[in-house]
Structure 1
Amino acid sequence: MTSTETPAPAFLRTLDHAVHRNHLKAAGLTLGEIRAAEDAGLIVEFRKEFYGPPSFAALTGRDRLLMAAAAYQRLGRTRDALLTGAAAAALHGMIEIDADSARPRPLEFLEYASDGRSVTRAAAVIRVDRVRDRESVVLDGVETTTPARTLIDMVPTYPHLLDDWVVTADRALRLGIVTRDQLVREAGLLRRRQGDVRVQLERLDERSRSEGETRSRLYFAREGMTRPELYETVYDYAGEPVATPPFVWPRQRVVGFCVEPVPACAFPDCDDRCTGDPGCAVDQHVDELFRELEAQTETDRRLDALGYRVYRWSGSRPSPDCGLCRLREDVGTPYRRVVRPGRFDYF
């Protein structure tokens, strides 16, 4: 009998909450019956191995995480374990939630038990902590590790992933989700890798206002370049402020801007719309872009008149193109260049 010929159990017609696939298997359902229920529109797989009523297909990424975590905890395999890792970081607002991923990362749980053991499954990973005291917060009914512990436990062991962690930590500090003191305290509770984690904490700077600025700052450090001042206001000879660039090298009289890429027009047929209409959204969009470019040009002109060399680049991973090569020459490289190991060296 094919999956489409297998009758769906009646209780699935009244399912109103999230369940893991093992819930359905424990109820006596086969994979054929589960697929038949999907084909009949009785249930939907809203996250890999997690099912719910058809309305769950419209859940936001955050709600999908919450429903999946609650469903897995109901399996009884996690005791009183706390949600941690990337899922907890997403719920805390440290990273973006990828709701459209076909293969989301497994949920991570942290169990505080002296006799527990770590378990790895396709849907979830359970780690055991035998050293630290249990500390948690509740987010929309799901108990998670604290923001500081979540972030400290996410410090990767692979060097090519450390920059991604710094980006996440900078964002958490900038948004006030955690404080530096909280991170230092959590690092001191670790049984292993305290030194490695403290080194990464020294690389953080909440003054970076975007991922691009954080990655640019890390790039400068790896290249051995003179450390810039962050967001230092430049004044003209009359004492009037000219600009507050993200990166300023005062002694070398060099400033740098890591700008967001200019967004493409949201209307593909701009030339055929709203001709002469004063309220046209297309015209307003284009006018706004032109005003930003004009303001940028005027700022660069005033900085140039003060003797500053201006560099601008965009993107979250700046590469050593011609412009940044000249930047290295202009600001100097008094420190040893650090070569990152592995094939994931983007620079």
Structure 2
Amino acid sequence: MVDFDEPFAGTDALAAGSVTRYQLRHHFVKLHRNVYVAPGVEATALLRAKAAWLWAGGGGVLAGPSAAAVHGTRWLGASLPAEIVRPGKLHSTPGIIVRSVDDIESCVVDGMTVTTPARTAFDLARGADIDRCVEMVDALCNATGTKVHEIEVVVARHKGARHLTSIRKVLELVDGGAASPPETHTRLLIVRSGLPVPETQIEIYDGGRFVARADMGWKQWRVLVEYDGAQHWTDQVQRTIDIDRYALLSELGWTVVRVGADLLYRRPQVLVERVRRALRRAGALG
């Protein structure tokens, strides 16, 4: 059976009798040569990766954002082209970047050959925009549990690769605890402001009872920084949970600096000063 909500090879659908040539031509969206999907299906990074795999006929290795998507990375965006590495003379096509690499670390996920999580991080870290690279590698590490030292092993294996300086700068800033791009941006702002580096995903207990998992903070000073997305303000159930949660954290002696999009992106200096004051009151700063 052909799943029309996933990219599919037109020749396979025709051979299975699932569609006629007329239906294929007029009732489906052509993504690439011989690759189709039903109209209205969301064009995610994962869908683009699967379409590229079909386009290449199962030959080669999905890499970069495509490999990251297959590994479960979120926040990649649908506008990024798919990326595949394979030998031979297959050239790039609109929506797919084809690269030639002799030595690449790979594994198989859901029947597709992709770069390993550590190699994927290595490739994602080679971009010109350092913050965007950190954001993507954070998300990949969060999804896969990959550690920086594993990525550094790949770096050591490819000492002659381009952009190694950029990769090392990115790895110095990576923390797989970030659960969203704004959390990465918040952490980078704090670090670059000269404040102590925060720990991410801090679990807080009252005796043996789990109370909360905070985005980032400093256990020794009982200071937390929490990024609240839109749902924390618009969802009444979430709002009630947050009110009770922050009241309990306060009772347990924790100071919470809450961050929203306006504070982070329009008034970053105010955010930094609030964190600085909280740390100073806690005795972290002189």
Q: Give the TM-score normalised by the residue count of structure 2.
A: 0.69
Preserved contact between residue 220 and residue 227 of structure 1 (Cα < 8 Å): yes
Q: Which amino acid aligns with 1:255?
A: L
Q: Give the aligned partner of residue 97 of structure 2.
A: 125
CA distance in 2, matches of 1:262, 1:242: 20
CA change 1:162–1:83 in 2 (3 A) is same
1:145 is displaced (CA, Å) by 2.1
Q: Which amino acid aligns with 2:169?
A: V
Q: Give the aligned partner of residue 313 of structure 1.
A: 259
Preserved contact between residue 198 and residue 216 of structure 2 (Cα < 8 Å): yes
CA distance in 2, matches of 1:235, 1:58: 45
1:309 is displaced (CA, Å) by 4.5
Q: 221, 225, 235: which is aligned to 1:256? A: 225
Question: Within the alignment, does 1:107 sit opposite 2:82 as a pair?
Answer: yes
Preserved contact between residue 125 and residue 133 of structure 2 (Cα < 8 Å): yes
1:92 is displaced (CA, Å) by 1.5
CA change 1:46–1:314 in 2 (3 A) is farther
Q: Which amino acid aligns with 2:243?
A: E
CA distance in 1, matches of 2:202, 2:53: 47
Q: Secondary structure at the match of 2:197?
A: coil
Unpaired segments ≥5 residues, structure 2: 1-6, 12-20, 281-286
CA distance in 2, matches of 1:168, 1:37: 41
Question: Within the alignment, does 1:170 sit opposite 2:119 as a pair?
Answer: no
Q: Give the aligned partner of residue 82 of structure 1.
A: 61
CA distance in 2, matches of 1:156, 1:126: 16
Preserved contact between residue 235 and residue 242 of structure 1 (Cα < 8 Å): yes
Unpaired segments ≥5 residues, structure 1: 1-15, 21-35, 266-284, 333-347
Q: How many residues end up aligned between the 2 structures?
A: 260
Q: Give the aligned partner of residue 55 of structure 2.
A: 72
Q: Give the TM-score normalised by the residue count of structure 1.
A: 0.59
Q: Secondary structure at the match of 1:153?
A: helix
CA change 1:243–1:155 in 2 (3 A) is closer
Q: Secondary structure at the match of 1:88?
A: helix
Preserved contact between residue 134 and residue 173 of structure 2 (Cα < 8 Å): yes
Preserved contact between residue 216 and residue 317 of structure 1 (Cα < 8 Å): no
1:317 is displaced (CA, Å) by 8.5
Q: Secondary structure at the match of 2:257?
A: strand
CA RMSD of aligned residues (A): 4.1
CA change 1:221–1:117 in 2 (3 A) is farther
CA distance in 2, matches of 1:214, 1:146: 23
Alignment of 1:137-176 (within 5 A): 137-158=107-128, 161-176=129-144
CA distance in 1, matches of 2:222, 2:50: 54
1:185 is displaced (CA, Å) by 1.4
Q: Which amino acid aligns with 2:9?
A: A
Bigger radius of gyration among the two:
1
1:164-199 CA-to-partner distances (Å, cap 9, x unmatched) read 322222233233353434311111122233343123
CA change 1:135–1:44 in 2 (3 A) is same
